[in-house]
């Protein structure tokens, strides 16, 4: 009996030692990987060759498939700013006016643009300027350079470095050595495909500015003014939102037109009841509509053009991107589309306005099924996604 006990004890001790050794090995490996992560962009004063390939694909993708996403988007002149820790880089804009203007404030920022010496973008000059102060950038949105609406997003490399830095600052010091930062960051920014369509998300904001500048400014101003008044944390309100998002999810997954219509009508009814129960003011109701019009449509554009790039047989990404190890030819587009549909049901308790990205995205997809001409009216004054959906569903 004692021999058996000794044998079991020996196994436990051996297993524990082996497990502890494995943990130490993994911790050491994680620390080694983390130590090799860059803290600065590999090129600071100009775009890398890969940066330029990605941005060239942004222009090609929009120009070839953009009108299937939103009429007129393909032909619109929308330059792009990519930025890192020290510089803003402006491509697709010839002889730009000095600086940039923030949206919606209209505040003039920055300084004169200079041609990047000894370099080009698609055979043409491109421009740069140093940040006027650390962290003072054009941000991830749209700005105006002179009278041009410009899409703005940090470079992919700087995005990963910034996310890693933010996580390190947010995680307790004791746990920092245990976090494999490259793996975690890859969940948020999987690679070039996601980055390219992320730039196009901001390019849709630029197009909203071109087509309906007052509506875009009003949506941004409503967010600034009303976010603090919105009952984000109210549990009953979240529960009602959950029911609403469940109906949207069901409508997107419906296999027939009849089922889609039934669930779309139920969604609109649930939305009306939620607002009454919460006693939302007219301003807060418009706040919801404006955020869906602004961010929901941009999310729809980002996700839909990703799907089109994968499903359009005649579309060929730029061959130069074959040199980019982070580009995967949009092969996971359907998987990401399905993941985004399922994510809708998880957004009721989300901190911030992420739910509006998804509820607006869902309504846009439903409108594609129920009212294919809906995009022609999207930029009319006081026309909201839910209004168009109500018309399509025959709901008063």
Contact 379, 212 (CB under 8 A): yes
CA-based R_g, the chain, Å: 24
**Residues 191 and 333 placed together within one structural domain of the fold:** no
**Residues 199 and 254 placed together within one structural domain of the fold:** no
Domain membership flag for residue 147: yes
**Residues 242 and 371 placed together within one structural domain of the fold:** yes
What are the percentages of helix, strand and coil residues in the chain, rounded to 5? 60, 10, 30
| C-alpha pair distances (Å), 111 with each of 80, 87, 89, 380 | 17, 12, 13, 35
Encode 161-194: b = buried (16+ Cβ within 10 Å), e = exposed: bebbeeeeeeeeeeeeeeeebeeebeeeeeebbb
Domain membership flag for residue 9: no
Find the domain containing 121 and state its range: 49-170+181-204
Contact 222, 286 (CB under 8 A): yes
Q: What is the 3-state secondary structure (H, E, C) of 132-182?
A: CCCCCCCCCEEEEECCEEEEEEECHHHHHHHHHHHHHHHCCCCCHHHCCHH
Domain membership flag for residue 7: no
Rounded to whole angstroms, how far apart are CA atoms 208 and 57? 21
| C-alpha pair distances (Å), 314 with each of 44, 57, 62, 140, 308 | 36, 15, 14, 31, 10
Encode 50-74: b = buried (16+ Cβ within 10 Å), e = exposed: bbbbbbbbbbbbbebbbeebbeebe
Domain membership flag for residue 257: yes
E strand or H helix at 91: strand 87-91
Domain membership flag for residue 249: yes
Rounded to whole angstroms, how far apart are CA atoms 305 and 68? 8
- Which residue in the block uniquely carries the two structure tokens 């049901």? 345
Q: Can you give the pLDDT at residue 150?
A: 99
DSSP for 96-136, please give it.
PPSSEE-TTT--EES---EEPTT--BTTB--EEEE-SSTT-
DSSP for 77-89, please give it.
---EEEE-SSEEE
**Residues 322 and 384 placed together within one structural domain of the fold:** yes
Per-residue pLDDT of the chain (396 residues; tens, 9 = 90+): 555 555 655 655 665 555 555 555 555 655 555 556 678 999 999 999 999 999 999 999 999 999 999 999 999 999 999 999 999 999 999 999 999 999 999 999 999 999 999 999 999 999 999 999 999 999 999 999 999 999 999 999 999 999 888 877 877 776 667 677 777 777 788 899 999 999 999 999 999 999 999 999 999 999 999 999 999 999 999 999 999 999 999 999 999 999 999 999 999 999 999 999 999 999 999 999 999 999 999 999 999 999 999 999 999 999 999 999 999 999 999 999 999 999 999 999 998 899 999 999 999 999 999 999 999 999 999 999 999 999 999 986
Number of Cα atoms under 13 Å in the Cβ half of residue 231: 16
Q: Can you give the pLDDT at residue 163?
A: 87
Domain membership flag for residue 21: no
pLDDT per residue as tens digits for the range 124-167? 999 999 999 999 999 999 999 999 999 999 999 999 999 888 87
Q: Can you give the pLDDT at residue 389?
A: 98
Partners of residue 124 on adjacent β-strands:
121
**Residues 116 and 160 placed together within one structural domain of the fold:** yes
pLDDT per residue as tens digits for the range 37-56? 678 999 999 999 999 999 99
- Which residue in the block uniquely carries the two structure tokens 């200079």? 114
**Residues 274 and 144 placed together within one structural domain of the fold:** no
Q: Can you give the pLDDT at residue 26?
A: 53
Tell how many helices (H) and how many strands (E) occur in the chain. Answer: 13, 8
Rounded to whole angstroms, how far apart are CA atoms 365 and 163? 30
**Residues 236 and 87 placed together within one structural domain of the fold:** no
pTM of structure: 0.91
* Total domains present in the chain: 2
Domain membership flag for residue 4: no
Domain membership flag for residue 198: yes
**Residues 257 and 199 placed together within one structural domain of the fold:** no
**Residues 384 and 256 placed together within one structural domain of the fold:** yes
**Residues 200 and 244 placed together within one structural domain of the fold:** no
**Residues 143 and 236 placed together within one structural domain of the fold:** no
**Residues 161 and 76 placed together within one structural domain of the fold:** yes
Q: Is the peptide bond before 224 cis (omega within 30 degrees of 0)?
A: no
Contact 120, 109 (CB under 8 A): no
């Amino acid at each position: 009996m004692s021999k058996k006990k000794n044998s079991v004890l020996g196994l436990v001790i051996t297993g524990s030692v082996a497990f502890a050794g494995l943990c130490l090995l993994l911790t050491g490996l994680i620390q080694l990987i983390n130590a090799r992560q860059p803290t600065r962009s590999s090129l600071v004063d100009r775009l890398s060759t890969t940066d330029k390939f990605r941005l060239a694909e942004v222009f090609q993708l929009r120009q070839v498939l953009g009108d299937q996403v939103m009429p007129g988007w393909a032909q619109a002149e929308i330059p792009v700013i990519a930025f890192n820790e020290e510089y803003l880089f402006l491509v697709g804009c010839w002889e730009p006016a000095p600086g940039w203007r923030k949206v919606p404030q209209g505040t003039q920022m920055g300084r004169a643009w200079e041609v990047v010496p000894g370099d080009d973008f698609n055979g043409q000059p491109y421009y740069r300027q140093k940040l006027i102060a650390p962290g003072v950038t054009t941000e991830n949105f749209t700005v105006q350079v002179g009278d041009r609406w410009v899409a703005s997003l940090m470079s992919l490399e700087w995005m990963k470095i910034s996310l890693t830095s933010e996580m390190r600052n947010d995680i307790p010091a004791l746990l920092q050595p245990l976090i494999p930062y490259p793996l975690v960051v890859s969940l948020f920014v999987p690679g070039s495909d996601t980055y390219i369509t992320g730039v196009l998300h901001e390019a849709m904001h630029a197009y909203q500015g071109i087509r309906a500048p007052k509506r875009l400014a009003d949506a941004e101003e409503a967010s600034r003014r009303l976010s603090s008044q919105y009952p984000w944390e109210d549990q009953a309100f979240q529960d009602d939102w959950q029911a609403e998002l469940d109906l949207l999810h069901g409508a997107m997954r419906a296999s027939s037109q009849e089922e889609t219509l039934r669930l779309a009508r139920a969604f609109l009814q649930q939305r009306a009841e939620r607002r009454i129960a919460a006693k939302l003011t007219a301003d807060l109701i418009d706040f919801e509509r404006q955020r869906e019009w602004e961010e929901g449509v941009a999310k729809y554009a980002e996700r839909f053009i990703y799907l089109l790039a994968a499903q359009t047989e005649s579309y060929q990404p730029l061959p130069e991107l074959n040199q980019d190890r982070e580009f995967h030819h949009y092969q996971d587009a359907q998987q990401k589309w399905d993941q985004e549909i399922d994510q809708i049901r998880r957004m009721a308790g989300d901190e911030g306005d992420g739910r509006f990205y998804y509820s607006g995205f869902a309504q846009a997809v439903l409108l594609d099924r129920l009212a294919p001409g809906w995009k022609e009216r999207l930029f009319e004054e006081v026309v909201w996604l839910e209004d168009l959906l109500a018309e399509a569903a025959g709901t008063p």
